[in-house]
């Protein structure tokens, strides 16, 4: 309301006193002018009407009426009551009702159970946080002669091949263990992390592509194992596959191969773990490149 009064007063000054208070540069001092006005006879009506006097200043009641807020601007009485309550200070909480111990939810588990909100039938499913991709559905299905295993987590899965022509494609799994029984053509492991695959016999090869920290084990034989663009792979070969399996690596690191090692004393037989070389040395000889494994000795 006080701001409204100032705004109305400013509008009044702009309308009736546009140039401010006007002083006569050739006039006398204030005391002489006051005495002259008292001794000056009353002027005629025509002369007095030449320069009309300024309108009177509005009274305080009129200014309050002009600056009163409208109904759309809010209820002044409600606002005044709010400020009055705030000015009470520490006495503002004197009107609160005291809650008994039997009405406190943190002291009565039954009240917490009764006041819990249950999900209704119309509730929408929880959405993933912004920027995080939605979880893909798990899928393990046989499509013609191809087993497809996708989007599994830390679970143990088993596949029993019924035909030799069948293959297995494992994609986007994390921490999954897959046990494949019986003889089949091939296995492809793509974009998986911390997974383990155990199988009996393969006719073609086992491929590991775009993976991290995977393990592959054969119970019988596998002709070829291909490891491409993979960081961390451990291959376990059986006694039958040790001398027959070819392992090909490309853009792979931390690849180890374990196989049984036979000695003259059967009680000393054990699995041996060997790393696949990652450093190579290339030289030019007779117009051709000759590449050998770089060995560190000493």
Q: What is the pLDDT of residues 48-99, one digit of tens each?
A: 445 566 666 666 666 666 655 555 445 566 666 766 766 666 666 776 777 7
Which among 112, 198, 191 has a CA at the least distance from the CA of 152? Answer: 191
**Poorest-confidence range of 24-33, 142-151, 195-204?**
24-33
* β-sheet with 156-160: strand ranges across: 156-160, 177-184, 196-202, 212-218, 231-236, 253-261, 270-275
Residue the block writes with tokens 């002669």: 145
**Per-residue pLDDT tens over the stretch 153-192:** 999 999 999 999 999 999 999 999 999 999 999 999 999 9
**Poorest-confidence range of 19-23, 38-42, 50-54, 194-198?**
50-54
Helix (H) / strand (E) containing 65: helix 60-67
Residue the block writes with tokens 């009055």: 84
Strands 253-261 vs 270-275: parallel, antiparallel or unpaired: antiparallel
Residues paired with 169 in a beta bridge: 148, 188
Question: Does the global pTM surpass 0.75?
Answer: no
Mean residue pLDDT across the chain: 80
């Amino acid at each position: 309301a006080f701001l409204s009064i100032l705004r109305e007063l400013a509008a009044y000054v702009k309308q009736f006193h546009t140039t401010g208070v006007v002083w006569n540069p050739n006039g006398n001092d204030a005391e002489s002018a006051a005495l002259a006005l008292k001794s000056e006879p009353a002027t005629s009506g025509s002369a007095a009407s030449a320069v009309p006097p300024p309108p009177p200043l509005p009274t305080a009641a009129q200014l309050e009426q002009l600056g009163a807020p409208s109904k759309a601007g809010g209820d002044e009485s409600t606002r005044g009551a709010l400020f009055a309550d705030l000015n009470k200070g520490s006495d503002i909480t004197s009107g609160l009702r005291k809650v008994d111990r039997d009405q406190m939810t943190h002291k009565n588990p039954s009240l917490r159970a009764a006041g819990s909100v249950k999900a209704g039938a119309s509730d929408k499913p929880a959405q993933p946080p912004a920027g995080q991709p939605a979880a893909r559905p798990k899928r393990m299905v046989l499509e013609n002669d191809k087993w497809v295993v996708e989007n599994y987590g830390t679970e143990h899965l088993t596949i029993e091949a019924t035909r030799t022509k069948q293959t297995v494609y494992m994609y986007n799994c994390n921490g999954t263990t897959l046990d494949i029984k019986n003889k089949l053509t091939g296995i492809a492991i793509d974009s998986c992390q911390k997974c383990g695959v155990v199988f009996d016999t393969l006719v073609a090869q086992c491929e590991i592509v775009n993976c991290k920290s995977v393990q592959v084990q054969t119970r019988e034989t596998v002709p070829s194992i291909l490891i491409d663009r993979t960081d961390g792979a451990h291959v376990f070969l059986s006694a039958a596959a040790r001398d027959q399996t070819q392992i090909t690596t490309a853009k792979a690191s931390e690849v180890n191969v374990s196989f049984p090692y036979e000695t003259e004393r059967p009680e000393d037989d054990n699995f041996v773990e060997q790393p696949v070389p990652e450093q190579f040395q290339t030289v030019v000889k007779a117009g051709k490149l000759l590449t050998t494994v770089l060995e560190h000795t000493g």
